[in-house]
Structure 1
């Protein structure tokens, strides 16, 4: 995640796993800013194709756009983009065609970034990509790029705790227009950043943020260096504030019952000079159904621990071993509970990679075309016939219609749910009773006990009378119900 001196901050949970962002100056910008009417580059004027800036199933969906608590001294309180945790040097792709307008390589203190100008059907859009070490590995200033073209590599430059891509969308000019929530923006363009993630971190923003004075500092009456001082705060004084609030470089806080403003570089998310023993830290855990029963491959020799933190080791598994998620994780998804043989323990997700199976072979099943299903539990609609990238969650009790395609083993069925078509586990679909098929006799015809003229006549169906097909078929004969009687008759006399 990227930090701006005039912005706000993210949740402490997300800080534990992913980046803390670049400290770069710029004017305030939020989605509430009026949209500019900048002239578009006519050479790019067209409705654009949009793509995911990272390859599906290779990244973790972390800190989202919006207010947050300050995670580092000098950080902001509003996250302007979306964080996607990925492997170092993973390829970054242009989200749409456009021209490269800004480039800066990163350092340990400053985040590297690439900014691309787009003309989306006459509307000026800019996308920004952060935290690469070098911004010049794949593009140069003024270069025209295509959607899906590699423009750089994932890095860890600037105040960042792990390699990731911080992705922003701006309506109008970068730092001159409005910072758009990028996930919803791309979803409207047909790209599901959240659904394509290998792991989704819980979206959590506290109602209040607890900080500490980073040094002896003045509590001001207004957000200004010239304002009167209400009191002088000592280092490590406890400060309480709301997430997302920052004005003129000052954070509104309450300390010792007095409310005022503290310069942001004097605000720390943790107490200075104190480190709590690991064993005393209580880390909140959650039920994480998305990992239940899912296989993961270890990317290095990995210690399985008794608690979701560095501590007692219950077992060590080698690199490339397979473990299975049991449906629990820490709130920030830094740790996941897994099973290895007879051992169930906690593992760092940093060293786990989800095993994505190849989709099963598909067949066409005529009887499933138009078949109505009832969803038996909250169920993911998936992009392929395999546990992997999801399209959306389907609610229990809702209806879906079969397209006529299924896997050879029948474990997956392709369905249409609302406006979306995808794959669902057949085990969680219940077929609705088919609508009765009614036929009319074209002439007087005998209804018989069996499918031939050798069988006894049960009744005679008069011309124009209606019968209901009950599903049986033998050659040209069909099984029907006529009034209270059932039997067989030749289909050539029905229409």
Structure 2
């Protein structure tokens, strides 16, 4: 994913620097460093600085450079723009995120100047409200680069992000984090899909973790199941800071009135995957009636919904008054006064194809809304046929019915190919769930054909029958071919029985080795071939 331009010598030195947002137009919020996951899918390490501002506020390039990446929001990812700079002969990249449209003002390869408008503030992707996430990278952007704190980097060049903020929130890193299992979730002994499962966490199980406790796609957690304490590693995409069961914790405070500290999305669920109902302008007063993880359930005017707790400030009792639906003190907010403020148009449908797996038990709806009529219950692991996308929803076909399901409740199925071998005896399931009906039993050491992948499951075929098994139970073969006619034997020795003779050029898949021999899958057979006859 690294973005890089041409030779660094082709870029003029960056000597001019500028504010990414106009001074006084933003609040200084979440800094770089370890943190608790703010939303499902969010990172445990914040790689930059957040500056909350009104939706549509102009974003400016912090320095002279060349645009190397422009990505509009897609599939839940945020809008992104990356600019490369030449700082004393060293590649430095500035990244700007969460705009609704990244391609509005710039294109890849375009030269930009410090202070040039390149985008508008938005709230796309994993975001709790309108803001700019700004990060700085040495040598490359993202995968091969090093993220550094943009605040001291820019301050040493005359750009003071803290000094230019309207409000500075001195956020402290908590000692622990509270998360929930977003679906039925394996707790493993180490950070690997192949690691043994210690216990299965039921949907909605509360777990404790720590800021930055992440490795190889897993979050380190501890949990109690049926009175027994466990510690281990949970798959990061299925860990959420909000209780997925929707059980808000009631507040006992005598004064529930708060104000929004930034232009803040109110959603129908305690998740960024929830439908945005409206935007509460900075200073807007709300009544908090409950909490769920990092979210607060609120009443705003006549509407009820969920907002990120991080962008609420408690008001003293004397100034609490009642919650209002007015626009607050900030211009540019989406919820101006009027009876139509809360009404959103139906999301635009765009044709989609392929299949997806339900990641938890869900209700299929008649339209893209949680208030729509229930059509059918979709079990966890069910295979869904995708027909269209509609905002944060999929239009799907399942079980002879057509309806809508939240995108956050499904994982797209990706094609897989090649051959593999079963590590152990397993039951092939009709869909990706241990509760699904059994199709057949596949014995350890037998050959399988890989057809598709979704989450930690493979769809495989064996002897004409198709089913789903955990990826951790299959050894995926590496493709090779024979360089001459060669025996496929029952063991790693010329004294072992020949199963068949493979012709020159036969495509095979290697699943293991012993000395100079390779354990090989050839069609429906598994055997051993000397490595000298494989390329």
Q: TM-score, normalised by structure 1?
A: 0.53
How far has the Cα of 1:88 moved from its partner? 1.4
Write the mapping of 1:319-330 to structure 2, written as runs, cut at 5 A.
Answer: none
1:130, distance to aligned residue in structure 2 (A): 0.6
Structure 1 distance, partners of 2:297, 2:203, is: 29
Instruction: Give the secondary structure class of the aligned counterpart of 1:106.
Output: coil
2: distance between equivalents of 1:240 and 1:306? 24
Q: Tell me, yes or no, if the aligned pair for 1:86 and 1:164 is still in contact at 8 Å.
A: yes
Shift of 1:302: 5.5
1:95 maps to 2:67: no
Structure-2 separation of matches of 1:249 and 1:178: 19
SS of 1:275 mapped into structure 2:
coil
Q: Distance in 2 between matches of 1:157 and 1:128?
A: 15
Which residue matches 1:261? 233
- CA displacement at 1:179 relative to structure 2: 0.5
Q: List runs of 5+ in structure 1 lacking aligned partners.
A: 1-25, 28-35, 287-297, 314-329, 355-495
Aligned residue for 1:86?
A: 53
1:46 aligns with 2:18: no
Q: Deviations over 1:344-391 (max 9, x none)?
A: 65879983349xxxxxxxxxxxxxxxxxxxxxxxxxxxxxxxxxxxxx
Asked whether 1:198 is paired with 2:166, we answer yes
Task: Give the 3 Å change call, closer, same or farther, for CA 69–305 of structure 1 in structure 2.
Answer: closer
Deviations 1:204-233 (Å, cap 9, x if unpaired)?
Answer: 211111111222221111111111111222
Alpha carbons 2:34, 2:44 under 8 Å: kept = yes
Does residue 352 (structure 1) correspond to residue 329 (structure 2)? The answer is yes
Q: More deviation in 114-123 or 344-353? A: 344-353
Deviations 1:169-219 (A, max 9, x none): 001100121101111111111111111111122312111111112222211
Structure 2 stretches of 5 or more lacking a match?
Answer: 259-279, 290-295, 302-307, 332-535
Q: Deviations over 1:122-176 (max 9, x none)?
A: 1110001111121121111101111001111111211223221111100110012
1:87 touches 1:154 (CA, 8 Å); kept in 2?
yes
d(CA) in 1 for partners of 2:140 and 2:254? 44
SS at match of 1:243: coil
Aligned pairs for 1:302-317 within 5 A:
310=298
Aligned-partner Cα distance in 2 for 1:282–1:47: 55
Task: Indicate the SS of the match to 2:67.
Answer: strand
Instruction: Specify the SS of the correspondent of 1:173.
Output: coil
Distance in 2 (CA, whole Å) between partners of 1:270 and 1:283 is 23
Once residues 299 and 169 of structure 1 are traced to their aligned partners in structure 2, the CA distance between those partners, rounded to angstroms, is 29
- Residue 40 of structure 1 and its aligned partner are, at CA, apart by 5.5
Choose the corresponding residue for 2:315, options 337, 345, 357.
Answer: 337
Identify the residue that residue 150 of structure 2 maps to in structure 1. 182
1:189–1:285: structure 2 CA closer, same or farther, 3 Å change rule? Answer: farther
What's 2:110 paired with? 143
CA separation in 1, counterparts of 2:323 and 2:168? 17
In the other structure, the counterpart of 1:228 is 196
Counterpart secondary structure, 1:351: coil
Residue 56 of structure 1 corresponds to 23
Cα deviation, 1:402-423, whole Å, max 9, x if unaligned, reads: xxxxxxxxxxxxxxxxxxxxxx
* Contact kept in structure 2, 1:108 and 1:157, CA below 8 Å: no
Q: Using the alignment, how far apart are the partners of 1:258 and 1:85 within structure 2? A: 38
Corresponding position: 1:215 with 2:183: yes
TM-score by length of 2: 0.49
SS of equivalent to 2:192: coil
* In structure 2, distance between residues paired with 1:244 and 1:279: 29
Secondary structure of the corresponding residue to residue 139 of structure 1: coil
Larger radius of gyration: 1
CA RMSD of aligned residues (A): 3.8
Report the CA distance shift for 1:225/1:126 in structure 2 as closer, same or farther (over 3 A): same
Distance (Å, rounded) in 2 between the aligned partners of 1:164 and 1:312: 21
**Which residue is 1:158 aligned to?**
125
- State the alpha-carbon separation in 2 of the partners of residues 282 and 266 from structure 1: 35
Distance 1:62 1:282 in 2: 27
Partner in structure 1 of residue 262 of structure 2: none
- C-alpha change, 1:233 and 1:95, in structure 2 (3 Å) is same
Question: Partners in 2 of 1:251 and 1:47 — Cα distance?
Answer: 39
Separation of aligned partners in 2, 1:125 and 1:198: 28
Work out which of the residue numbers 199, 202, 211 in structure 2 matches 1:243: 211
Kept after mapping to 2: 8 A contact 1:278/1:309:
no
Range moving further from structure 2, 169-178 or 156-165: 156-165
Deviation per CA, 1:76-98: give whole Å up to 9, x if none. 10111111111111111000000
Aligned length: 294
How far apart, in 2, do the equivalents of 1:164 and 1:70 lie?
Answer: 17
Residues 282 and 99 of structure 1: CA distance in aligned 2, closer, same or farther (over 3 Å): farther
Closer, same or farther: CA 344–156 of 1 in aligned 2, 3 Å: closer
